[in-house]
Amino acid sequence: MDALEVGILGVPMDLGSSRRGTDMGPSAIRYARLTEALRQVGRQVRDLGNLEVPVAESLDAANPRLKHIEAIEPVWRLLAQRVARMVTEGRVPLVLGGDHSLAVGSVGGFLSAGAGDLGVLWFDAHADFNDAATTPSGNVHGMPVACIVGKGDPELLAHTRWLPRYLPPDRLVMIGLRDVDPGEREKLRQTGIVTYTMQQIDELGIAEVTRRALQHLQGRGVRRLYVSFDVDVVDPDVAPGVGTPVVGGLTYRESHLAMEIVAESRLLAGMEVVEVNPIRDVHNRTAEVAVALIASAFGKRIL
């Protein structure tokens, strides 16, 4: 995948969250010199701009169990179309969020492009596996995994019927969990999605966890890897400007090592970086961390 041009696409959306601000994430990441960082590691880059996304103030949240879902679903569909086009044109999609609900559109784009060999590495403090029946908040950014693997309640999955198929649960691995709701915990047990919590990372080390995750995916026929990176997987001492911070996350070097191992696998077919919230940040530090991690995933090395 190394020779392919990187296509940057912003999704300035915070409709899936209860906190405003992640809609400014794409601008903050670009401002942190994203294009320059990718070119410095030898990648050709084309910035394709942003999707048009409605702002929360112009909408009625409507369903309290699926807030703003009627406005979010069209964004998913448009994003899927744009990602599918990039994949078929031979580009590596780099999606800038925006809240994590957008993953339904980005992963859906790969599935729409016929990527039957796709696997997903999901870096996140949260499982994002709620649905309308289990959600404590009604925020859709806590539900994308349920949509992607097709294991939500009928009310939520009614909004995913446009997907050509669902991703098999054994082709998604979660890394960095430390804040999981009771309903999500039960669903994870039922579906058998492979998870690595911060406890396991503490015990095994991030290098071993990342390599085990990649081995698991490759053992299930994965030849194209999509990395969904919620910056809240990183400890808020390092990355304070995120939608839903949780203490006890990955260190700066652990985060980079995970991305360096992803780059070494030569499987990276696309990536999204989500939940950067400049309102909660300090001097754009979190966006700068995001850019550094993207550069590592796309091949930056110390020597």
Residues identified as active-site: 100, 124, 126, 128, 141, 230, 232, 275
For residue 56, how far is the Cα from the chain centroid?
Answer: 21
Using CA atoms, how far residue 250 sits from 71, 230, 239, in Å, is: 33, 12, 10
* Chain Cα centroid distance, residue 146: 14
CA distances in angstroms from 79 to 12, 51, 123, 259, 281, listed in the order given = 11, 7, 20, 24, 26
Strand partners, 230: 274
Q: How many Å apart are CA 105 and CA 82, to the nearest integer? A: 9
What distance in Å separates the CA atoms of residue 223 and residue 117, rounded to the nearest whole number?
5
User: If you search the block for the tokens 């899936």, which residue do you land on?
Assistant: 16
Q: How far apart are CA 207 and CA 213, in angstroms?
A: 10
